[in-house]
Homo-oligomer: A and B are copies of this chain.
Amino acid sequence: VSEASKTASVGGNEAGVECATRLELTAVAGLPIISAGDDLSRAIGDALEGADVRLRDGDVVVVASKVVSRAEGRFVDLARVDVSKRAAEVAAEVDADPRLIELILREGPFVSRASRGVLVVRHRLGFVVANAGIDRSNAAPIGAPDGTGPWVVLLPESPDDSAERIRSALAARSGARIGVVITDSFGRPFRLGTVGAAIGIAGLPALYDQRGKADLFGRSLEHTITAFADQVAAAADLVAGQAAERRAIVHIRGLSFPSVNDAASALLRKAEEDLYA
């Protein structure tokens, strides 16, 4: 991380005063169905252009992990998965397809919780997620031959790197200093329903620290490190899900954030410090 990029702030005004009190989120249409090997950054840039969005300093582009996975060819044909002894045992325990369990355990060898129909693992990327984030919807590659599948799609290989590639390509194309967040929908302990979560980030902070600002009565605020990138993901999921056909790209204007090189793993609590690990 260069010092310049560490300290530059985007989206605020010149004096560094935070003035962003309005956000605009737009679910961007026009992204084609992505195939393995497609230039996703270019496709996203084209979709933004097609939607008349000209990127400015401080804009954030949110990309659903699914299209990143598709571009990276992270499809797996379940019919071709060899099942290990451990996967067969776990599959019997949770009553699920042993081939799917095999893939889940390859992506996340550490099992957090197992129950009928549910296998929650700590993913190799660090986050705790049901079924290792493996998805069966929109999972088939284009032109998959008859008689193959069922297909599933794994999470991107390295989402922070994917976010940085997209950020850098969009920045080169627009000249704007932007942030990129790659998101997935996660379930949660205690609460029902999925929420957007940041699994890869570039150009913006994972956490936003408001500690030290005095409150109205002169005391320091408590508990005020907000999960900035996760809230960006949740907000984007809200508008993406509102589109008539769920959209993979959301453009956000109006955030104020430092332009930093951070990693989505900064959002993760260390297992040894997690009361629920």
Contact = CB atoms under 8 A, between A and B. Distances in A.
Contact of A274 (B29, B189, B196, B222): B189
B26 A226 contact: no
A52 interface: no
A136 B77 CA distance: 54
A147 B137 CA distance: 62
A242 to B, nearest CB: 5
Contact of A22 (B26, B237, B277): B26
A38 to B, nearest CB: 15
Nearest to A256: B242
B18 A191 contact: no
A113 B268 CA distance: 19
Using C-beta atoms within 8 Å of the partner chain, give the interface range for chain A. Answer: 35 or more
A216 B261 CA distance: 35
Interface string A231-268: 11011011101111011000000111000000000111
Interface stretch (A101-109, A157-165, A171-179, A207-215): A207-215
A25 B23 CA distance: 5
Contacts of A23: 23-26, 235, 238-239, 242
A32 to B, nearest CB: 11
A96 interface: no
Interface string A185-222: 10111111111110000000011101000011101111
6 contacts: A17-B244, A113-B275, A138-B216, A189-B189, A189-B269, A242-B256
